[in-house]
């Protein structure tokens, strides 16, 4: 179509695309292009008119210019006021009042208040002013000071109470006035927290130094204690070893006393065996007494040490016991009741135990009576084998005869040997003289002398042969005697074995048992005196036993819990003991010579001494063994001498032959041969002299044998006396058995009485114990604290009690051994009296065994306690040594003290960097400033006014948009640049910050633009309300987690939420802001489209002459 036909006739054809004068667009296309062209043309006209109107309105132009800096005015001034408050705390005035008083602590002067004031003067945390209490309080009230710090007068004093039982904390008082400025008060509190930490660190350093000094002192003390504990452990170990040895000895002593008691009972059954052993018992009792005295002398040291330990433990337990004792009088009464019940039960058990021991010992005594009688009969039978020993006197006489034949008189072998030597000497002299003069007469004289010498040699040889035969006969007789003596010694040894049960009681003292038997008659007076003392000791022992039973009798009689018949039987026993004690009479007034004769003749007097019998048998056996040895030696010497005489006889026979030959040859001999013969005779003289010496040696040996056999006759007499004594001993068995039966019957009666008392006492003790348990159940909670110290105190108390009991037992044991020693000596000298006092001796033996048993139990308890004490002292020494070593390894250097005072360093790693509070608050305030700026522009600029003819809605929107969006972008740009220039704002990413600020301003403008043209001032008001909602819901100051729940619900629906996050990221160089950029772009596009649609709707209605909502609002003054 041609251009003139085009719908755009009002325009030249040249304005359209043509070719050859024809338009290239179809009709429909031409219409659309035409409409767009018309709209653009109309929009241009409205935009030009809007810009022309703005430029000609100087006031409006000024308002627009002012509106562009409103975001900076709002955000910049606000941020400037709070740009870096935490960096200026040194300008915050705070008053300090120091009332602290210095104190002395561990040798140092503590003045923490003054030190704190000096430190605050140099501190730049706050603006500290040091004043008095009144000025400080007035200044806090009128706002001069934001805080008042008061250091009380007991500040240093409380610091010195660290090691007190109830330490007091240091109190640093501070006062604030939040009504004046709440933020300032909170800032001052934060600074005060740092001050408090510094003061606490300084005080802790002082505490740490004191603590390390105490640790060092404790280490030294622990080392000294460890050394002392080591010495204690050594002493305890030695004491423990001694206690072990004491326990072993006490056990041996107990066994020995038990065996002795059995032996004493056996003595009552068979006085024959007992009377032979009392002498040895006496010696053993003497040695036992010495040992008991020695042990008794050492016991005070042990007792003192144990009591010292007990007292030390009691001092330790005193503090705990003090608390325990305050649990109430009820517990004290319960303890007393429990102790009474325990004491009653223990007393009854001790009474029953003693009665059981008494009856058991009596039964043992009765049971062994038959064995004792059998042993006495066997001893009597064995003594008959000793009859052959009564011929020992003949052996001694035979030895004397042999000795006389060898060395006695002119016809003895010694005299013949001497004569032979003299004859040979004479022959030798004559041969020498003959060699000098060779006359026939002299030769004949020599020959005669040789003949005479030969004859004497033959006689001497005959005497030697006879003497050798006699010696062999004597040797055979001595050999038979030696065999007989050894056989008798074996019989005596067998007899000794039968008395072994009695001998074991004094086995340790057996070495000196023969002293009394071997003593001479001149000791008789001393022995009689000793016997008198022994008799007195026996009487005292029996009297003491009767008194103890009498005390029991009185107690039972007073209680009335035992039948009268039983008490009567016990009284009978007591009277029997008193009667037996009264029958024991000393040996005063006896004929000393007759008593000594009786002592030498043991078999006739039957002294009843078991030790004497054992001593006699041992001495006799030893003597017989020595005799047998001597006889064997004599037999060997005689046999050797006989052999030597046989040799000498052969030599004499040979020499006699040689002399005869010499006599035959001497007659025709020449002079030179005489000289040779003289030499041979000289050799014979030397041999004769040697033979004479050998004969003399034999004579001396026989003399020794004769001297050694001098006591053979006396030994033979002793053997006879021994046989007689054994026969007399066996005759007393019947009386012994009768006394044992009586004693057994009395023991049964006493056991019944004690059993009845024991039953009644148990019922009483049971009731008391039940009551005590009920009370203690109530007091268990109170006494639990004292349990540990009570156990320790009881352990040491038991140890001390055990030692005390052992001391008492040792005293009784020593007394018993003394009584035993005195009684056995008396029994040695007076067997008749001993027979009457056998019951008393048995009772004393039982007392000794009972005391020894208690002593052994105490020794066992002591040994156990000493072992536990040793183990504890060793553990204590080791623990103290380890503690001292650990304390010694603690070094209190400056770094160590600093570590104690401030053990924690907080190391912060920042993923992003925020310079100060201004940069932290900038994202929030920039969002608010841009919102307020856009809101102000929409309020101040006429968004719905236009000049000229309204061409259309888009043109209407475009005419206003060309002003709004450039102003919005300018607001974002000026906001960032002015913050940088005025406040020192320096974001990490400046370009991103500027661009996002412009985008945010455009988005906020789009929102304001829509609501303002739609609702007028009401829309602006709604946007103001929405800004307040965003201020609370965007978490611009505090994290959303710290805000109320409704904030979290609206947080994600607010534009401020995303602008604040994006600005924070660009300022500190954080994460990507893409999501926030997209959201702002979407908001811009969406509200821009809504605004265009609203303008088109308004334009259509306006062109149609219809009223608009904006017109109604304007009439009401709301547009």
SS3 sequence of 244-295: HHHHHHHHHHHHHHHHHHHHHHHHHHCHHHHHCCHHHHHHHHHHHHHHHHHH
Condensed to tens digits (0 to 9), the pLDDT of residues 788-827 reads 556 656 666 666 676 566 666 666 666 666 665 676 666 5
Query: Taking the mean position of all CA atoms in its chain, how far away is CA 907?
Result: 45
Using CB atoms within 10 A of its CB, is residue 481 exposed (0-12), middle (13-18) or buried (19+)?
buried
The whole-angstrom separation of Cα 394 and Cα 401 is 11
Rounded to a whole number of angstroms, the CA Rg of the chain reads 69
Pick the more confident residue, 405 or 779.
405
The whole-angstrom separation of Cα 742 and Cα 268 is 12
Using CB atoms within 10 A of its CB, is residue 455 exposed (0-12), middle (13-18) or buried (19+)?
middle
* pLDDT score, position 645: 61
Element (H, E) at 1103: helix 1074-1103
Helix, strand, or coil here: 797? helix
* pLDDT score, position 97: 93
Which pairing describes strands 108-110 and 103-105: parallel, antiparallel, or unpaired?
A: antiparallel
Binned at pLDDT 50, 70 and 90, residue 981 comes out as: very high
Structure tokens given for 446: 């020599």
* pLDDT score, position 661: 62
Helix, strand, or coil here: 149? strand
Question: Is residue 502's pLDDT more than 50?
Answer: no
Task: Please report the DSSP string for 527-589 in residue order.
Answer: HHHHHHHHHHHHHHHHHHHHHHHHHHHHHHHHHT-S-HHHHHHHHHHHHHHHHHHHH----TT
Do residues 456 and 420 lie in contact, with contact meaning Cβ atoms separated by under 8 Å? yes
Can you name the CATH fold of 383-506+611-727? 1.20.1170
User: For the chain, what is the total number of helices (H) and then of strands (E)?
Assistant: 36, 8
Strand order across the beta sheet in which 93-98 lies: 127-130, 93-98, 147-151, 173-176
The whole-angstrom separation of Cα 136 and Cα 144 is 9
Calculate the alpha carbon distances from 812 to 331, 556, 844 in Å.
37, 25, 11
688-689-694-695 Cα dihedral, nearest 10 degrees: 70
Question: Is residue 419's pLDDT more than 80?
Answer: no
Helices (H), 942-1016: 953-978, 990-1015
* Weakest-pLDDT range from 197-206, 317-326, 855-864, 1057-1066: 317-326
Q: What is the mean pLDDT of residues 163-181?
A: 81
Question: Is residue 6's pLDDT more than 60?
Answer: no
CA-nearest of 257, 263, 265, 260 to 292 is: 257
CA-nearest of 1001, 998, 1003, 1005 to 938 is: 1005
**Structural domain spans, the chain:** 3-41, 383-506+611-727, 910-1115
Condensed to tens digits (0 to 9), the pLDDT of residues 1043-1092 reads 888 888 888 999 999 999 999 999 988 788 899 999 999 999 999 999 99
Condensed to tens digits (0 to 9), the pLDDT of residues 1099-1111 reads 888 777 778 777 7
* pLDDT score, position 554: 80
* Weakest-pLDDT range from 205-219, 487-501, 883-897, 983-997: 487-501
* pLDDT score, position 1092: 93
Helix orientation angle between 182-269 and 838-889, rounded to the nearest 10 degrees: 160
Neighbouring C-alpha atoms within 13 Å toward the C-beta of 572: 14
| Residue/partner pairs of 17-20 with CB below 8 Å, 24 or more apart | none
Element (H, E) at 792: helix 787-829
Q: Kindly report the number of other CB atoms within 10 A of residue 542's CB atom.
A: 27
Structure tokens given for 216: 């060092």
């Amino acid at each position: 179509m041609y251009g003139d036909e085009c719908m755009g006739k009002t325009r030249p054809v040249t304005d359209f695309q043509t070719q050859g004068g024809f338009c290239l667009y179809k009709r429909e296309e031409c219409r659309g292009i035409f409409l767009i062209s018309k709209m653009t043309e109309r929009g241009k006209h409205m935009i030009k008119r809007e810009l022309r109107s703005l430029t000609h309105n100087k006031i409006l132009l000024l308002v627009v210019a002012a509106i562009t800096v409103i975001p900076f005015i709002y955000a910049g001034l606000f941020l400037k006021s709070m740009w870096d408050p935490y960096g200026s705390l040194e300008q915050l005035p705070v008053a300090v009042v120091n009332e602290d008083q210095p104190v002395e602590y561990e040798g140092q002067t503590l003045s923490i208040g003054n030190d704190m004031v000096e430190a605050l003067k140099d501190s730049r945390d706050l603006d500290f002013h040091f004043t008095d209490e009144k000025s400080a309080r007035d200044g806090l009230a009128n706002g001069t000071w934001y805080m008042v710090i008061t250091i009380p007068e007991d500040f240093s004093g409380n610091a010195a109470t660290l090691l007190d039982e109830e330490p007091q904390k240091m109190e640093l008082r501070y006062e604030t006035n939040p009504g004046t400025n709440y933020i300032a008060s909170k800032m001052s509190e934060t600074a005060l927290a740092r001050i408090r930490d510094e003061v606490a660190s300084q005080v802790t350093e002082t505490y740490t130094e004191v603590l390390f000094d105490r640790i060092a002192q404790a280490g030294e003390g622990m080392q000294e204690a460890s050394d002392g504990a080591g010495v204690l452990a050594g002493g305890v170990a030695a004491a423990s070893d001694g206690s072990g040895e004491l326990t072993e000895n006490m056990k041996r002593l107990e066994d020995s006393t038990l065996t002795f008691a059995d032996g004493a009972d056996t003595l009552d059954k068979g006085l024959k065996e007992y009377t032979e052993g009392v002498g040895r018992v006496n010696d053993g009792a003497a040695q036992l007494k010495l040992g008991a005295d020695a042990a008794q002398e050492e016991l005070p040291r042990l007792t003192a040490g144990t009591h010292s330990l007990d007292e030390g433990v009691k001092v330790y337990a005193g503090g705990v016991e003090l608390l325990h004792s305050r649990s109430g009088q009820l517990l004290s009464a319960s303890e007393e009741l429990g102790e009474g019940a325990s004491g009653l039960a223990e007393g009854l058990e001790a009474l029953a135990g003693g009665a059981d021991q008494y009856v058991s010992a009596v039964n043992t005594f009765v049971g062994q009576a038959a064995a004792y009688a059998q042993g006495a009969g066997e001893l009597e039978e064995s003594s008959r084998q000793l009859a052959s020993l009564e011929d020992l006197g003949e052996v001694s006489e035979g030895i004397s005869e042999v000795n006389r034949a060898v060395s006695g008189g002119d016809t003895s072998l010694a005299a013949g040997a001497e004569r032979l030597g003299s004859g040979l000497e004479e022959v030798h002299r004559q041969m020498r003289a003959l060699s000098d003069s060779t006359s026939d007469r002299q030769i004949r004289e020599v020959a005669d002398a040789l003949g005479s010498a030969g004859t004497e040699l033959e006689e001497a040889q005959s005497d030697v042969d006879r003497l050798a035969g006699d010696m062999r006969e004597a040797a055979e007789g001595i050999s038979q005697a030696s065999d007989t003596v050894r056989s008798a010694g074996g019989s005596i040894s067998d007899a000794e074995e039968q008395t072994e049960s009695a001998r074991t009681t004094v086995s340790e003292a057996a070495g000196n048992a023969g002293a009394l038997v071997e003593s001479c008659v001149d000791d008789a007076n001393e022995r009689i005196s000793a016997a008198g003392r022994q008799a007195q000791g026996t009487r005292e022992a029996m009297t003491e036993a009767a008194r103890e039973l009498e005390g029991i009798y009185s107690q039972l009689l007073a209680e009335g819990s035992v039948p009268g018949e039983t008490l009567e039987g016990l009284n009978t026993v007591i009277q029997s003991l008193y009667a037996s004690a009264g029958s024991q009479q000393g040996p005063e007034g006896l004929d000393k010579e007759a008593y000594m004769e009786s002592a030498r003749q043991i078999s006739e007097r039957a002294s009843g001494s078991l030790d004497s019998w054992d001593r006699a048998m041992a001495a006799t056996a030893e003597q017989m063994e020595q005799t047998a040895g001597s006889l064997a030696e004599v037999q060997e010497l005689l046999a050797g001498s006989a052999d030597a005489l046989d040799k000498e006889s052969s030599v004499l026979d040979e020499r006699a032959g040689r002399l005869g030959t010499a006599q035959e040859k001497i007659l025709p001999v020449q002079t030179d041969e005489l000289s040779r013969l003289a030499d041979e005779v000289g050799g014979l003289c030397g041999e004769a002299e040697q033979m004479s010496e050998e004969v003399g040696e034999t004579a001396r040996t026989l003399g020794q044998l004769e001297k050694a056999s001098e006591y053979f006759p006396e030994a033979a007499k002793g053997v006879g006396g021994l046989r007689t004594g054994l026969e007399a001993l066996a005759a007393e068995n019947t009386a012994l058995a009768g006394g044992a039966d009586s004693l057994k019957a009395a023991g049964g009666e006493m056991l019944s009485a004690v059993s009845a008392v024991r039953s009644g006492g148990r019922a009483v003790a049971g009731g008391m114990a039940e009551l005590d348990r009920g009370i203690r159940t109530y007091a268990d909670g109170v006494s639990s604290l004292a349990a540990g110290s009570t156990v320790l105190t009881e352990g040491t108390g038991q140890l001390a009690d055990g030692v005390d009991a052992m001391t008492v037992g040792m005293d009784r044991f020593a007394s018993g051994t003394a009584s035993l020693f005195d009684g056995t000596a008396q029994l040695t000298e007076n067997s008749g009296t001993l027979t009457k006092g056998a019951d008393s001796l048995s009772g004393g033996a039982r007392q000794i065994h009972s005391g020894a048993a208690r002593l052994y139990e105490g020794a066992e308890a002591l040994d156990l306690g000493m072992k536990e004490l040793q183990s504890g002292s060793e553990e204590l020494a080791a623990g103290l040594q380890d503690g001292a070593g650990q304390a010694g390894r603690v070094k209190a250097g400056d770094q160590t003290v600093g570590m104690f005072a401030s053990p924690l360093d907080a190391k912060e790693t920042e993923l992003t960097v925020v310079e100060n509070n201004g940069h932290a608050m900038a994202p929030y305030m920039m969002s608010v400033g841009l919102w307020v700026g856009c809101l102000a522009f929409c309020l101040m600029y006429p968004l719905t006014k236009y000049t000229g003819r309204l061409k259309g809605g888009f043109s209407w929107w475009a005419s206003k948009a060309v002003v709004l969006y450039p102003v919005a972008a300018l607001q974002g740009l000026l906001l960032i640049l002015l913050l940088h220039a005025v406040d020192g704002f320096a974001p990490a990413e400046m370009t991103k910050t500027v661009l996002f600020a412009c985008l945010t301003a455009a988005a906020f403008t789009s929102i304001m633009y829509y609501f303002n043209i739609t609702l007028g001032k009401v829309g602006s008001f709604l946007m103001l309300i929405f800004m307040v909602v965003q201020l609370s819901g965007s978490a611009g100051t505090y994290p959303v987690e710290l805000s109320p729940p409704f904030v979290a619900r609206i947080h994600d629906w607010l534009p401020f939420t995303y602008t604040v996050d994006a600005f924070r990221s660009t300022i500190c160089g954080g994460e990507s802001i893409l999501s926030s950029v997209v959201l702002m772009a979407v908001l811009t596009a969406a509200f821009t489209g809504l605004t265009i649609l609203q303008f088109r709707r308004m334009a259509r209605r306006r062109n149609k002459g219809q009223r608009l909502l904006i017109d109604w609002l304007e009439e009401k003054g709301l547009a």
